[in-house]
Amino acid sequence: MNKQGPDKIDWTDASWSPITGCDFACKYCYARRMANRLAGRYGYPKVNPFEVTFHWDRLNQPLKWKKSKKIFVCSMGEMWGEWVCPARIGDVLKICWKSQHHIYQFLTKNPTRYNDFHCILNGWYGTTIDGLPFTEGNLEKLVHSTSGAKVRFISFEPLLSELHPNLYDIDWIIIGADSSRGAKKPPQKWADILIDYARGAGTAVWVKDNYGYPDVIKEWPEVKK
């Protein structure tokens, strides 16, 4: 478990990564940078320190946490990639089912994979839209693939272009900037536009500190009954 705080992922209480690694090659990926940095520090022999790996020793961690937490699942990997075995995803979801006192926050760039599994009642289902062609259409894919989800959310992090989404089926949005060294900060206008759309749709808004937005906006979504 990685505890979170003001300098980390502030929209969750803890992260849990029974699956790490990803075959997407996003240039801004913080998890890949971290894996490469750790490989260099400890001299890991792996050619690819971010190769997809299932960690059996981490699987039961949430069962040991008695206090209710919001848990970001697989912050160091892409659990819902097509390269991940369905059985391994099932193993993770079984642990989520067994610990109903927690909320599990799933985030993927491949939201159509959600459709292969039933939505768990204590799961929040999200997708990333960064403004690049690769993630275009992810909002619609998320809605169509998560029937019965209590919370659907969009992570606009990093926000790399001006966007005009229809948020009426989305309960929560997260807005953030590219955290890569030397990355250009996005204009305030881009966040203003998303916030205006969210207000019109009744969607909760969470703006990460790394955006440099002048107002503090950190709202939780309303969970459907």
pLDDT tens track for 44-56? 555 566 788 999 9
| Digit-coded pLDDT (tens) for 160-184 | 999 999 999 999 999 999 988 888 8
User: To the nearest whole percent, how much of the chain has pLDDT over 90?
Assistant: 77
Q: Indicate the number of domains in the chain.
A: 1
Confirm whether 113 is domain-assigned.
yes
Confirm whether 225 is domain-assigned.
no
CB 161 within 8 A of CB 170: no
| Cα gap 26→200, rounded to integer Å | 31
Confirm whether 4 is domain-assigned.
no
Regarding pTM above 0.75, the answer is yes
CB 145 within 8 A of CB 112: yes
Confirm whether 217 is domain-assigned.
no
What element of type H or E holds 93? helix 86-98
Confirm whether 55 is domain-assigned.
yes
CB 128 within 8 A of CB 109: yes
Domain extent, residue 145, equals 11-211
Confirm whether 106 is domain-assigned.
yes
| Confidence band, pLDDT 50/70/90 cuts, at residue 27 | confident
Strand residue runs (E) in the chain: 2-3, 14-16, 19-20, 53-54, 70-73, 103-108, 123-128, 151-156, 172-175, 204-207
| Digit-coded pLDDT (tens) for 57-88 | 999 999 999 999 999 999 999 999 999 999 99
Mean pLDDT for the stretch of residues 118-143: 97
Confirm whether 202 is domain-assigned.
yes
Strands 204-207 and 172-175: parallel
Q: What's the whole-number average pLDDT of the chain?
A: 91
Confirm whether 24 is domain-assigned.
yes
CB 78 within 8 A of CB 22: yes
